[in-house]
A and B are shown apart, each in its own frame.
Chain A
Amino acid sequence: MRHTLSVVVEDQAGVLARVASMFAQRAFNIHSLAVGPTHEEGRSRITLVVDAPDVEQLSKQLYKLVNVLKVTELAPDEALESEIMLVRIAAGPDARGTVVETASMLEATLLDLGPTSVTFQVAGDPVKLARFLEVMEPFGVVELVKSGRVAIARERTRASARAAG
């Protein structure tokens, strides 16, 4: 089962290693990991997408790390998720126009035009990235890199609170 965890940690040397290594030790599989500073001094946020049968156990193990301050699981419908993907699509002179036109319909940003390929940046939620790849696949994906997913909780409205019971 796939889960998105948002983990606030003390910004100290070795904290990322402690978190990542604990996953390896306990045989939890990390699908994606992104880390960066928060708006508060001395704190970083690690966003993890993990495959784990028991997310509660995972969360407890994270809390056992002294430098971990807060662990939040972001349920899919409560999370705003975003990821950046850089992707190079095969496109010689003949196909270039179609490739660029298609990509722009999918809100991709053109980064570079080369003799045999075009490179795009796609930013957004996982569905948008997946859709871009699905549509561009027939042209040929030459190279691809993803940033790792970042996520933040959606502010609860009265309606969503009612729906959640």
Chain B
Amino acid sequence: MANDNQITGAQALIAALEREGVDVLFGIPGGAILPAYDPLLDGTMRHVLARHEQGAGHMAEGYAQASGRVGVVMVTSGPGATNLITPLQNALMDSTPIVAITGQVSSAAIGTDAFQEAYTTGLAMHCTKHSYLVTDPDDIVRVIHEAFHVAGTGRPGPVLVDLPKDVLNGLTELGDPQPVVMEGYNPTTEGNGRQVRAAIELLEQADRPVLFVGGGVIKAGGSRELLAFAEAANAPVVTTLMARGAFPDQHHLALGMSGMHGSYTATTAIQRSDLLFNIGARFDDRVTGDPATFAPEAKVVHIDIDPAEISKVRHADVPIVGDARVVLGQLLATLDKQRGEAAPPARIDWFETIQDWQQRYPLAYDQDPQGPIKVQYFIDQLYDATGGDAVVVAGVGQHQMWVSQFWQFTEPRSWINSGGLGTMGFAVPAAIGAKMARPDDLVFALDGDGCFQMTCQELITAATEHIPIKIAVFNNHGHGMVRQWQRLFYGGRFSATDLGNVAPDYPALAEAMGCVGLRAEKPSEVGPVIDKALAIDDRPVVIEVVVDPDEMCFPMVKAGGSCDNVAMGPEDLW
């Protein structure tokens, strides 16, 4: 017999999400998840109705990346869940904490090829950090709290909870909050003291050290500690794509991003370093090029909260498993203790060499005032207009690399992009999620026309939900990065990279979706159009920026090539 404390599994789910402090979730309802959508009406959480589940997933990611909190997405079974696979893998690759709630057909129907049935936990096995199929309403609350714990701690990542309809409809009790106890999941946060001392010893002896900083520093909230450590160490700082904003670009120790489209100085400093001090980066192939020729003279200190990243690609002479912020604190304390009042090593030769590279090989572009707009020019103009005070969101491709190169990042979580998976279409929905997390901040998506066409249906989500993001669509009438590769490596044979003669009328498309549509076609129009966009605060704004289709992104290290060969232009590759 039902007692007074009994609630449905769906009510327990909503209550557990509220207990986790969730203020917004992104999703789309459907048959199997219907029970969970009903108690949502009585709760405190806001629901943002996306137009496609992939969009909902990227919104949750944007929310998580902008805030550091766990993003939540809720969709139905079958196609709802399969549409979520791309955001899940994206979140896995970029260590973004999200919890995905998926409806599932009723327990009795599982395995019968029922309507809208998909083997969601099976499909999600390799694109989540962990996943659950809940078979008993009494497990819902525990599983939700475990899911948030796993998603948000250690190396963050996506966790999926699959809930059959009968489990949502079944009766359970909420109970008092219980601590999460998971025998098989206990991330190490504090670094081993002996290894920390060994790392400091290597650092103090190094003539040409580089602090190589990854997204782990941002996840750990360790930017302040990083700044203090870099200054104490007196060592130059290179950031990965995911770590833009972890260290202020204006700082005299900042060298920017290295790798395939990194600056000459950042890439070359790593190549010539005698100590590569990796803090929360994973030696991605876009960073290393050919691993056999990567940083050949460097000893390696590798700090990572995920033990599997250490010595996966590059052998670590000093491995330290731990949280980047905690370990940076330990490193600082050790450095202080060992050094006492002594000054840090001056490393005059090393800094002179670096300055010489910076002067000889700066990041540069030419904007002909009468010629077509360069994306880099728009980025510079936007930076000047905003003072850099914005959350910048990018899609994937040339424009993403240019933003990373030319925007001067000062704050962590001011740069949101799809790094590991390289998911075109990420920007628009991720910007919506970011704006939900930080409504008082300017959120500006910088997107390519190829990317934009993949998820632009979410413009209507932004408009109807009153989420006033801004989007610049760089229209080069094609898939610019792929075209660049065809130009460089396929003899200029442009196969399927031209988006056709009939491009959408982007401002008209924006207006049709309830947004403001603007356009800039000449360099002289860039400044005014940015001012116009920044003045609008009650609706989303889309600016079509017609850009030079022939501009290529440099510097460039060939895929799988040696980072010793940084091409400053096409002539260095041909």
Contact = CB atoms under 8 A, between A and B. Distances in A.
A13 interface: yes
B311 interface: yes
Interface string A11-29: 0011001100110010000
A13 B184 CA distance: 15
Interface in A29-84: 56-57, 60-61, 63-69
A125 interface: no
Contacts of B130: 66
A68 B306 CA distance: 15
A73 to B, nearest CB: 15
B469 to A, nearest CB: 35
Interface of A: 10, 13-14, 17-18, 21-22, 25, 56-57, 60-61, 63-69
Contacts of B308: 57, 60-61, 63-64
Nearest to B307: A60
B376 to A, nearest CB: 39
A17 B311 CA distance: 26
A7 to B, nearest CB: 11
Per DSSP, are chain B's interface residues mostly helix, strand or loop, or mixed? loop
A40 B184 CA distance: 15
Given A14-B133, A25-B126, A66-B150, A57 B312 contact: yes
Contacts of A25: 126
Given A13-B133, A14-B133, A57-B311, A21 B185 contact: no
Contacts of B129: 66
Per DSSP, are chain A's interface residues mostly helix, strand or loop, or mixed? helix
Interface in B194-214: none
A66 B312 contact: no
B184 A69 contact: yes
B400 interface: no
Given A13-B133, A18-B125, A21-B125, A64 B306 contact: yes
B122 interface: yes
A10 B184 contact: yes
Nearest to B321: A60
5 contacts: A18-B125, A63-B307, A66-B184, A66-B185, A68-B184
Nearest to A10: B184
Counting chain B CB atoms within 10 Å of each CB, the highest count among A56, A64, A67 belongs to A64
B42 interface: no
A15 to B, nearest CB: 10
B349 interface: no
